[in-house]
Amino acid sequence: MPKKQLFISDLHLQPERPDIFEALLWFLDNIAQGAAELYLLGDIFEYWIGDDAPLPGAERLISALQTLQRHQDLAIFFQHGNRDFLVKTQWLDQANITLLPESYPLQLVNGQTAVLMHGDQLCTEDTEYQNFRSMVRNPAWQHQFLSKPLQERIAIAKSLRAESQARGAEKSYSIMDVSPDAVKQTLLCAKVDHLIHGHTHRPAHHQNQVKKGQGERWVLGDWDQAGWYLEVDEHELQLIRFEFPASI
């Protein structure tokens, strides 16, 4: 069977949305069958306050991934998003998931090359967010946060989420999207054929003019109303939307 690579992001799994959990389990049971590699490109979880306090339902996901790996030779990779940047190897190791750096070059099964990222680092015009990102991605800040009692972490996380939602409501559509210059620079520096990312919740396939030709940008969709994934096989890349199964 030909190999295929699958890419998903922005599921925002949370107890309040059991339908998304069920859609992911359906995806693993059906779409992921026969895949060689599965890439989770950030914001798989709506929030994460430490591996010692996994989101309700995370154990079920681990179990599903373990089952899938027992039945096929599947490699699973994870990149941090702006919601789940505190996921650490203690949790990932349970399902033999490899943690990737925030920018990762990849050889695709069709012979082309890509760079993977969550995508929030491309929103360079949102300077307020970039300052916040620099703070929370700092290892010292993370160590201090994870050292706090659980209830205090929960309170801080709720406050940060509320502030983020309030700030987002006040910002323009364009400032919250990726910067064209950042995209071009990423493609130039990585010297790849494709840039694959999520974060913006604006699924699309873009052609970007860069030095010595075109660079293609694939934006993964969020799983609010339907599921999205990018599938790469030996012939092509396809951005695919699917309805949540009716039984969910």
Annotated binding site for substrate: 82-83, 126, 164, 171, 199
Which residues sit opposite 76 in a β-bridge? 38, 97
Name 33's Cβ contacts closer than 8 Å, sequence gap at least 6.
72
Per DSSP, the residues of 108-171 read: -TTS-EEEEE-SGGG-TT-HHHHHHHHHHTSHHHHHHHHTS-HHHHHHHHHHHHHHHHHHHHHS
67 DSSP assignment: H
The SS3 assignment for 175 reads: coil
Rounded Cα distance between 13 and 103, Å, is 23
Rg (CA), the chain: 18
Q: Which residues are annotated as a binding site?
A: 10, 12, 43, 82-83, 118, 126, 164, 171, 199, 201
Rounded Cα distance between 54 and 57, Å, is 8
Q: Which residues are annotated as a binding site for Mn(2+)?
A: 10, 12, 43, 82, 118, 199, 201
